[in-house]
Structure 1
Amino acid sequence: MPIAVYVLGLSIFAQGTSELMLAGLLPELAADLHVSIPRAGLLISAFAVGMLVGAPVLAVVTLTWSRRTALLLFLALFAATHVVGALTSSYAVLLATRIVGAFVYAGFWSVAAVTVVALVPATSRGRAMSIVTGGLTIATIVGLPLGTVLGQRLGWQSAFWTVAGLCVLAMVGVLATLPGRRPAPGSTPRLADEIRVLRNARLWLAFGTTALVTATILVVFSYLAPLLTDAAGLPAAAVPAVLALYGVGSFIGITIGGRFADATPFRTLFISIVGLIALSAALAVTTTLPVVVVVVTGLLGGFGFAANPALNARVFSLAGSAPTLATATNFSAFNVGITAGPWLGGLAIDAGAGYPALGWIAAATGAAALATVVFAAHVPERPAVSSPDPADRGASGRSPGAG
């Protein structure tokens, strides 16, 4: 793999740490900002809303930009929102910085995806994106528990300062490994092709699968810290270690999933989703058993992230040579799930259903995701958009990815 693929993965690690770290900081945020835990959980949903809107908008706006320029701008703005977030004591201001930061983070994902796909053969798209998305799993293993420890000992603001610093380092890597040239004349992606590819019904089924799988993961993950302490009875000091275990499971899952996503996407999705359903149901009936909860948490990370490369590979395959807007829409689908998961979990907790309800909700959304996969396997294939001239492939890449 080209070194730039790994640099972009490390950039996702820097930003993904912010995306994930609030799951381990909800008790501290709620106490410091004087809000309930479900309301603090809306900071996770707010981040997802920003990504939901940002991905397609910025994908279109930056269609003809130098990719390096776009990536550097997004990283700089992301770092700035975290500086503002670290300096504020207002819930409303923090909420706004989460939305703005997520907006540019979505833009980074969109541009990084088409950049990566332009660097590798079509048969390696899923694997390449598993490396980039692997930055998110490393954020789960290292960034999330580190952010939790920093938040518990030095205040949640210290985690925000750390993310800002990581983004500056990522900018150095992007400057060093990516060229600053604009797309060559005649190779600029055509918006008409990008829009036309979205007429494919199978593509929308793929988006639906992405949203539902992500919601299945986030229903539980968003409230993992209070679930571990309040329901399973673990001490707060154990939370970072359990979150790291989740991250290790995620890394193993995405590595295995990346090996099979390009060749057997449906089988990979089927196994991953069935595993998520079974584990979510198991969590629902064993919430008060700490040892079981810890084991299930690690397995949830593995099965959840194993689906990620296949979710992206399906979109790349269906989008053909016009992947930019389809990829961005898939990022939006990821964030529909990220928005819906915490919201559904918060509704259950506020209604007094308790933490076991999170497992049952996740099992239900997982079953819906499985239904979309089975249905998509029986929808007739439609030819992907292809450009009449091979040179037209240059700006959109050989095909794209991820979240």
Structure 2
Amino acid sequence: MPVGLIALALGGFGIGLTEFVIMGLLPQVAADFHVTEANAGWLISGYALAVVVGALGLTAAVTRFERKPVLAVLMVLFIAGNLVSALAPDYPIMMAGRILAALSHGAFFGIGAVVAASMVAADKKAGAIAIMFTGLTAANVLGVPFGTMLGQAAGWRATFWAITVIGVLALAGILALVPKTGSGETAPGGLRSELRAFRSGQVWLSILVTILGYGGMFGAFTYIAFTLTEVTGFAASTVPWLLILFGVGLFIGNTLGGKAADKNVDRTLLVVLAVLVVVLVVFALTSGNQPMTIASMVLLGGFGFATVPGLQMRVMKYASSAPTLASGANIGAFNVGNALGAWLGGVTITAGLGCTSPIWAGAGITVLGLAIMVFAAAAAKKHDAGRPAAVDSSTADAATELQTA
């Protein structure tokens, strides 16, 4: 395993921690800044929206630069945002710090996925992307619980100081361990070249599958605390430990999903999305049973995040001539899916459909994602079947360069 992947994973760990740890610290933050918890919740929503903006706008702005220096600058931006959050004297400055840190999120994962894939052989690219995203899963499994404990023991600002230190370590690792442009890869070709990747219908289909497939899982997860306490009957004090089990599922799913996607991306996504629908339906039907709920949470995390390496790899595969902006756009799509799932789950609860309704809504969204994935895989297979059986080697190489199938 290239050691540069460790530096990228550490950066992913810090970014994931920044995104999710605030959920456990909202009461303290709200009390400190004298705002309602609903207003404090905008520190989460504002972050998510800024991720989408950064994933598209910031990635587009830096496509003509070498990727390693760009990753370093993005990590500096991340460090600055968390430093502002740690020092924030009031709510508006805190929001500014959150937005500043979030702008680096989408671009870092989008460009980092391209760099990670370039470090390894062609049959190990999804696995390399999974290693980078391991930092994000570790943030959920270990970082969020311990970050919350640190904030409760030493004040919420201590957590953001710790994240700032993690950012500094990740920056040092990127500068020391990440190759200049992967494995001797030439510099990216500029914005116009990157935009041409969006002419591919498969790129758009892949992004849509990301929104719906990941959004279904996140819609169910957003309101999971209400399900656990009000339907399953767990005490509120047990919820953090149950979320760790969910995080364990994320970690396992990310690792195995990356290995499976290296063998066959489309088949992996079709199987994982189909099983995810089943898991969501079973979870909704058995949420009153505690052992079944525990099993469902682990499986929800596992199959929900097993899609991530494959979804990211698929976009890069069909934008292979200029993958950077498409990769960043897909990171934004994950956050659009987060917002869609959370919004639809909130609509069902507000409509009085009960605390299991977000799970049913998540299952419905995932079914749509699976249907689009079936269509996309069939279209890709038909395209492959229609290719001439015999072409000269230079044409074959060019076709593979432009669109690997």
TM-score normalised to structure 1 length: 0.86
* Cα-to-partner distance string for 1:156-195 (whole Å, 9 max, x where unaligned): 3333222112111111211221356899997441433321
SS at match of 2:383: coil
**Shift in alpha-carbon separation, 1:185–1:373, aligned structure 2, 3 A:** closer
Percent of residue pairs identical: 37
Structure 2 equivalent of residue 238 of structure 1: 238
CA distance in 1, matches of 2:402, 2:263: 17
Does 102-111 or 363-372 show the bigger shift?
A: 102-111
CA distance in 2, matches of 1:278, 1:37: 35
Task: Output the CA distance in 1 between the equivalents of 2:32 and 2:300.
Answer: 30
1:223 is matched with 223
> Quick check: 2:7–2:170 contact (8 Å CA) kept in 1?
yes
- Is 1:67 the counterpart of 2:67? The answer is yes
Of 359, 381, 384 in structure 1, the residue corresponding to residue 383 of structure 2 is 381
* 2:329 partner amino acid: T
Q: Which segment drifts farther, 50-59 or 222-231?
A: 222-231
Give the match for residue 173 of structure 1.
Answer: 173
Give a deviation string over 1:26-55, Cα, whole Å, max 9, x none: 555566666666665543332221111111
Q: Distance in 1 between matches of 2:275 and 2:37?
A: 29
Aligned to 1:158: 158
The residue number in structure 2 matching 1:280 is 280
Q: Which residue of 1 aligns with 2:124?
A: 124
The 2-side partners of 1:37 and 1:227 are apart by: 20
Post-superposition shift, 1:367?
0.8
Q: Residue 11 of structure 1 corresponds to which residue in structure 2? A: 11
* CA distance in structure 2 between the partners assigned to 1:230 and 1:313 by the alignment: 39
Q: Residues 250 and 109 of structure 1: is their aligned pair in 2 closer, same or farther, counting only changes over 3 Å?
A: same
Tell me the amino acid that sits aligned with residue 2 of structure 2.
P
Aligned equivalents of 1:152, 1:27: Cα separation in 2 = 10
Give the counterpart letter for 1:257 in structure 2. G
Select between 305-314 and 155-164 the one with higher mean Cα deviation: 155-164
Matches within 5 A, 1:324-335: 324-335=324-335
Q: Deviation of residue 284 (structure 1)?
A: 2.6
The secondary structure found in structure 2 opposite 1:267 is helix
Relative distance call for 1:332 and 1:360 in structure 2 (3 A) is same
- Over 3 Å counting, the alpha-carbon distance change for 1:369 and 1:41 in structure 2 is farther
Length, aligned pairs only: 390
CA contact (8 A) 1:117 1:399 kept: no
Provide, for residues 318-368 of structure 1, a one-character-per-residue CA deviation record: whole Å limited to 9, x for no partner. 112211121111112112112222222333344444321111111111111
For structure 1, the 5+ residue unaligned runs are: none
Using a 3 Å threshold, how does the CA distance of structure 1 residues 287 and 92 change in structure 2: closer, same or farther? Answer: farther
Q: Deviations over 1:274-329 (max 9, x none)?
A: 22222222333344444332221111110011111111221122112211121111
**Segment drifting more, 79-88 vs 131-140:** 79-88
Aligned partner letter, 1:139: A
The offset of 1:267, in angstroms, is 2.0
Q: Relative to structure 1, is the Cα distance of residues 129 and 24 closer, same or farther in structure 2, using a 3 angstrom cutoff? A: same
CA distance in 2, matches of 1:116, 1:26: 34
Task: Tell me what 1:369 maps to.
Answer: 369
SS at match of 1:377: helix
Q: What is the root-mean-square deviation of aligned Cα atoms in Å? A: 3.1
Note the alpha carbon deviations across 1:103-153, whole angstroms, 9 max, x for none.
Answer: 112221222122222222222211110111111111111112212323444
Partners of 2:64 and 2:190 within 8 A in 1? no
Higher relative contact order (CA 8 A, sep 6+): 1
Label 1:354 to 1:100 Cα distance change in 2 as closer, same or farther (>3 A). farther
User: Is the CA contact (8 Å cut-off) linking 1:316 and 1:399 kept in structure 2?
Assistant: no
- Which stretch shows the higher mean deviation, 175-184 or 118-127? 175-184
**Residues 1:141 and 2:141 aligned together:** yes
Distance 1:162 1:289, change over 3 A: farther
Partner of residue 196, structure 2: 196
Distance in 2 between residues matched to 1:354 and 1:289, nearest whole Å: 16
- In the alignment, residue 245 of structure 1 is paired with which amino acid? L
Partner Cα distance (1:91, 1:287) in 2: 38
Q: Which has the larger radius of gyration?
A: 2
How many Å separate the matches in 1 of 2:7 and 2:377? 35
Distance 1:254 1:185, change over 3 A: closer
Contact kept, 8 Å, 2:10 with 2:166, in 1: the verdict is no
Contact 2:319 2:402 in 1 (8 A): no
Q: Is the 8 A contact 1:148 1:240 kept in 2?
A: no
Corresponding residue for residue 390 of structure 2: none
Unaligned runs of 5+ in 2: 388-393
Deviation string, structure 1 residues 30-87 (Cα, Å, up to 9, x no partner): 6666666666554333222111111122222222334333222222221222232234
With over 3 angstroms needed to count, the CA separation of the structure-2 counterparts of 1:44 and 1:364, relative to structure 1, is farther
Within 2, Cα distance between the matches of 1:182 and 1:36? 47
The alpha-carbon distance between structure 1 residues 273 and 22, as it changes in their structure 2 partners (threshold 3 A), is farther
Structure 2 distance, partners of 1:199, 1:13, is: 33
Are the structure 2 counterparts of residues 230 and 315 from structure 1 closer, same or farther at C-alpha, using a change threshold of 3 Å?
same
Q: Is this contact kept in 2: 1:117–1:398, CA < 8 A?
A: no
Amino acid at match of 1:168: V
Question: What is the match of residue 83 of structure 2?
Answer: 83
Amino acid at match of 1:250: L
C-alpha displacement of 1:2: 1.2
- Secondary structure in structure 2 of the residue aligned to 1:2: coil
Asked whether the equivalents of residues 51 and 106 of structure 1 are also in contact (C-alpha less than 8 Å), the reply is yes
User: Aligned partners of 1:75, 1:291: CA distance in 2, in Å?
Assistant: 41
Residue 265 of structure 1 deviates from its aligned partner by: 1.6
